[in-house]
Chains A and B, each alone.
Chain A
Amino acid sequence: MREIPAELVATEVARLCQEANYTLGAEMLSALQAAKQQEQSPLGQEILGLLLENAQVAADRRLPLCQDTGLAVVFVEIGQEVQIIGGGLTEAINRGVRQGYREGYLRCSVVSPLEPRVNTGDNTPAVIWYDLVPGSRLRIVVMPKGGGSENMGAAVMLEPSAGQAGVCRFVLETVDRAGANPCPPLVVGVGIGGNLEKAAYLAKHALLRPLGNAHPDPAIARLERELLTEINCLGIGPQGLGGRVTALAVHIETVPTHIASLPVAVNLSCHCFRHREVEL
């Protein structure tokens, strides 16, 4: 067994929370630059320029890109040969979130769900997804997910006869209904198959794929391109004030499903497409 101290996990999670909130990835910056060239709306171009300027200010001054520093969603791939020592893994991740948000001057946005909706005060608990994998590595991805974009996600249990056309229709309806609210330009995550919760998980997990990488299956990759074209025909544009750049990418993940089912989920990321990872 390979031993990894819980303390190291906490320290790394704290760092990832801050880095994800302060800096946009290089591929997102180039996607925004390309979008600015491509956008036809003058106001849309101005807005895309402001997004790039904001990314510069945030990185220079180590300020969060957005005041909504998110609910911390953490994806963990843990090798079967890894043993966490000196404390529990879940506890270490939450300790890291607590430390990262407090020391990084990030907003604590987590409250109890029903009235009086009391703030937990430290942005915990994180939403943590574990995946047990072969080997002796521990991979942690921290995705601070804002409420505005998360609120506009949706899931549906279609009937199999709805087929691919039904899936496309649901994705387009979801983006169309979301309009300005999830802060376009978006990255659109789509989960197809499994069951209700698996499709929702896949839709979010799809956001982790490096921006601009197509799905390895050519048929799914084609569907991603077609959906992107259709989405950018909706007219929503940057900030929903009109334009031809509504989404920068569509990422689809699929998994087999029940003969009676066609689950579909959509998870939208705002233009603060931010996640950071570490492999220990």
Chain B
Amino acid sequence: MNSLRLSTPLTDEEVSRLRAGDRILLSGIVYTARDAAHQRLAAALAEGTELPFELQGAVIYYVGPCPAPPGAIIGSAGPTTSKRMDPFTPLLLARGLKGMIGKGPRSPEVVAAIQRHRAVYLAAVGGVGALISSYIRSQEIIAYPELGPEAVRRLEIADFPVIVAIDSQGRDLYQTGRLAYRCQSGERGGTYESK
């Protein structure tokens, strides 16, 4: 399938055109943040202090990379499970965050907030961190260095392949994809019927 090229920061117009299932090659600047950094970002917003980066149009990548071996820009750097960031996400979307890169489904609250604020959730392939490191052109720690792998980094990426998992109209590939390939009751042993 053909991939669409896209660069950050993302605009409302660009985001609105994306559909769940689209393959994208993403370039530009993304910011890393995972569990501990999200707590810090939420605290900063609550206190009204300045965030380490501009949220308007920004894309956050949920990743805690490995240390860079000698001569490399970064170590393995694949996505972590996104749902742990769900409690913080609607707040960040309300402040202008346009995109998130991670893996795994989001809560109904996050899907609704993505739709409300016209944002997009992009899935990177989990467990291919070595491959993904080759799409990263530079990295710089810009906040919370004491968090080690969880520090906020500014990454410059080039043609990073991602899949639109939840689009700005709330279509969710984690739901539709599963439904499309779930066996009908006649097709299997029938010892289990999930809700």
Contact = CB atoms under 8 A, between A and B. Distances in A.
Interface of A: 40-44, 46-47, 50-51, 53-54, 57-58, 61-69, 105-109, 117, 119, 121, 146-148, 151, 165, 168-169, 172-173, 176, 179-181, 183, 226, 229-230, 233-237, 239-244, 270-272
Contacts of B191: 165, 168-169, 172, 226, 230
Interface of B: 1, 21, 36, 63-69, 72, 75-78, 80-81, 83, 103-105, 123, 125-131, 133-134, 148-149, 161, 163, 165, 173-174, 176-183, 187-189, 191-192, 194
Nearest to A104: B69
B125 to A, nearest CB: 5
Contact of A240 (B64, B133, B174): B174
Given A58-B130, A66-B76, A117-B36, A105 B66 contact: yes
B181 A230 contact: no
Contacts, number: 192
B63 A180 contact: no
B64 A226 contact: no
A54 B124 CA distance: 13
B159 to A, nearest CB: 14
A239 B124 CA distance: 9
Contact of B75 (A53, A54, A63, A169): A63
Contact of B130 (A63, A226, A240): A63
- The prevalent SS among residues of B at the interface is loop
Contact of A241 (B131, B163, B187): B163
A109 B76 contact: no
B130 A239 contact: no
Given A57-B131, A68-B64, 7 more contacts: A50-B128, A63-B129, A65-B76, A119-B148, A183-B126, A239-B126, A271-B127
Contacts of A169: 191-192
- The prevalent SS among residues of A at the interface is loop
A173 B193 CA distance: 9
Contacts of B163: 43, 241
Contacts of B36: 117
Contacts of B81: 147-148, 151, 181
A67 B177 contact: no
A272 B174 contact: no
A242 B81 CA distance: 17
B134 A242 contact: no
Contacts of A270: 126-127
Contact of B125 (A106, A165, A239): A239
Contact of B64 (A65, A107, A121, A230): A107
A150 B128 CA distance: 18
A116 B78 CA distance: 25
A234 B189 contact: no
Contacts of B174: 179-180, 240-241
B194 A173 contact: yes
